[in-house]
């Protein structure tokens, strides 16, 4: 049976997994779960994932419900090497650290803003939201002062998670390249990946359309 990924294009975590899939060159069936239509709350989806989140990966009897866990599962199973998720414990710890940073900080602020939009309460980007997003840029600039990628010297799944979250942050609080040159350079490297445009362009347009339809926020396009 083929792998099945339940996803939504506007979801940064969904796109992070899709970038991993493209990088690995594996065949996966994509099933769109429309969150606005509450398809994630339907009984058939809740049976697969009681957390009702996307992305959700189904690999025969194995169901994985978190984007970071999905990527960490796919690389060892399907990659010819371990560069995207190293076997070396010290290198892997750095990747895991940045994946947790994405969960708890980067994506969390995008998620909370989008959640407000679903509730009809996202008319503007509040000052405290701007402060948190800017703090995220500061952290990333510090990381990228030390290494060319967010978790080390080479591209890893941590970069896939970070770039999809950062692009969501960037449309709310545009990144000033003069203040964050390392961050801007890293973003250009990620955008130059052969599969970046295929995965992210549609999803970013969907996210921008969603936010602008429910708010007065002038987003960066």
Active site residues: 11
Non-local CB neighbours of 178 within 8 Å, separated by 6+ positions: none
> Hey, is 45 helix, strand or coil?
helix
What is residue 31's three-state secondary structure?
strand
Reported in sequence order, the residue ranges of the chain that DSSP labels E, i.e. its strands, are 3-7, 28-32, 56-59, 62-64
Dump the DSSP string for 92-130.
Answer: HHHHHHHHHHIIIIIHHHHHHHHHHHHTT--SS--HHHH
Q: Do the Cβ atoms of 98 and 131 come closer than 8 Å? A: no
């Amino acid at each position: 049976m083929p792998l099945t990924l339940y996803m939504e294009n506007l979801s940064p975590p969904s796109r992070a997994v899709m970038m991993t899939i493209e990088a690995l060159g594996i065949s996966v069936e994509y099933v769109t779960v429309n969150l606005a239509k509450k398809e994630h709350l339907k009984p058939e989806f809740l049976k697969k994932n009681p957390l009702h989140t996307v992305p959700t990966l189904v690999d025969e009897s194995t169901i994985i419900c978190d984007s970071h866990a999905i990527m960490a599962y796919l690389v060892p199973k399907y990659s010819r090497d371990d560069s995207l998720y190293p076997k070396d414990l010290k290198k892997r710890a750095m990747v895991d650290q940045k994946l947790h940073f994405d969960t708890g900080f980067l994506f969390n602020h995008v998620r909370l803003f989008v959640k407000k939009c679903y509730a009809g309460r996202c008319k503007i980007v509040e000052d405290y939201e701007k402060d948190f997003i800017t703090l995220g840029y500061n952290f990333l600039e510090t990381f990228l002062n030390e290494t060319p990628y967010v978790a080390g010297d080479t591209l890893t799944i941590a970069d896939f998670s970070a770039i999809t979250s950062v692009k969501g942050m960037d449309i709310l609080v545009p990144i000033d390249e003069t203040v964050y040159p390392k961050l801007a350079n890293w973003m250009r490297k990620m955008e130059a990946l052969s599969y970046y445009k295929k995965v992210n362009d549609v999803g970013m347009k969907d996210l921008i359309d969603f936010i602008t339809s429910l708010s007065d926020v002038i987003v960066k396009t």
